[in-house]
Every structure is written in structure tokens, then in C-alpha cells.
Amino acid sequence: MEYDYFTAIVRFLHVIVGVAWIGLLYYFNFVQVPALKNANADGTAAGITKHVAPLALLWFRWAALATWIAGAALLGANFVPAFTLSGGYEAIGLGSWLGTIMLFNVWVLIWPNQQKILGLKSASDAEKTAARRIAFLASRTNTMLSIPMLFLMTNGLSHKGLIGL
């Protein structure tokens, strides 16, 4: 039996960048957001918003994209059945759709609004207020979607024999 090194490497990358993506998602929602409230209150938020947040968002958005691409590569010929929720690929397909929604949220809702919030893109105070709400809701949505996404994807992968569980 020949070992498939390409699949093993892509699976490794999918897991590593997925851990980075979801880890940063949880960091933002459970650590940075609450810490920023306190840091804003005592005037020490600049270090976080100027140095930590932009770097963490860089890793966050590229880890999201790399996770999705690696996942799509792992699906390979099963990509269409997974995304059309057919042929026994319903679980992995639902997980893939949740991951796709989360990727959309990162690149289309969270990142553009965080640029306004952090002053990386000019915005009025009203635009920053709206941006905070949109980024907050998209990030919280991703946090909530991450649990069923992980469950469905790991369940779906093992069910179809796509990973050696």
C-alpha cells in the first residue's frame, strides 16, 4: 500500500491553519474584546489596537483562507457532492458550508470593518460605530458556527473514510 504524501501534507496544513483560525477566533471573542473594554477605560488600549490586533487579524484572515483551500483540496473529487449535500456527503457538506460562511464573514464583514475600527482605513465616528457592530456580530456568529462546523466536518470525514478515524 502506497502512502499518499500529498494528502497527508494537505491534511496536516488543514489542521494546523484550522487550529490557528479557530484559536484566533476564540482569542478575539473571549480575550481581546473583554480586555479592550478595560484597556479603553484606563487608556492603555493603544498597544493592543496598534500592535496586537492588526497582526492577529493578519494571521486570522489568512489562516481562514488557507483552512478553506486545504479543506477543499482534501475533498478533491468529493467537493461537488459535499457542497450539493448529496451522495452521503451531507455531514461534511454542511460543515463545509458553515466553514464557507465563516470564511465569508472573515473577509467580507470582519476584516473591512476592523480596518475602520483600528484606524487602518479612514472612517467617521458613525462609520466606526456601525463597523464595531457588524464586526462584533460576524465574529460572534463565527464563534457559534465553529462548534457545529467542527463536529460536522470531523463526523463527515470519518463517515466517508476521508480521514483515517
State pLDDT tens for residues 53-90.
999 999 999 999 999 999 999 999 999 999 999 988 88
E strand or H helix at 2: none
Q: Is the dihedral of CA 76, 108, 17, 149 positive or negative?
A: negative
Residue 1 has pLDDT above 90, yes or no: no
Q: How confident is the model at residue 156 (pLDDT cuts 50, 70, 90)?
A: low
Look over the chain and give the mean of its residue pLDDT values, rounded to a whole number. 92
Q: What pLDDT score does 164 carry? A: 43
Helix, strand, coil tally for the chain in percent (to 5): 85, 0, 15
Q: How confident is the model at residue 108 (pLDDT cuts 50, 70, 90)?
A: very high
3-state secondary structure of 120: coil
Can you tell me the distance from the alpha carbon of 31 to that of 12, in angstroms, rounded to the nearest whole number?
27
Q: How confident is the model at residue 165 (pLDDT cuts 50, 70, 90)?
A: very low
Q: What pLDDT score does 55 carry? A: 97
Instruction: List C-alpha distances in Å: 39 to 31, 63, 72, 119, 135.
Output: 12, 27, 40, 17, 19
- CA-based nearest residue to 6, from 104, 73, 87: 73
| Domain assignments of the chain as residue spans, ordered by start | 5-21+46-155
E strand or H helix at 110: none
State pLDDT tens for residues 117-139.
999 999 999 999 999 999 999 99
Q: What pLDDT score does 154 carry? A: 78
Q: Is the dihedral of CA 71, 73, 78, 84 positive or negative?
A: positive
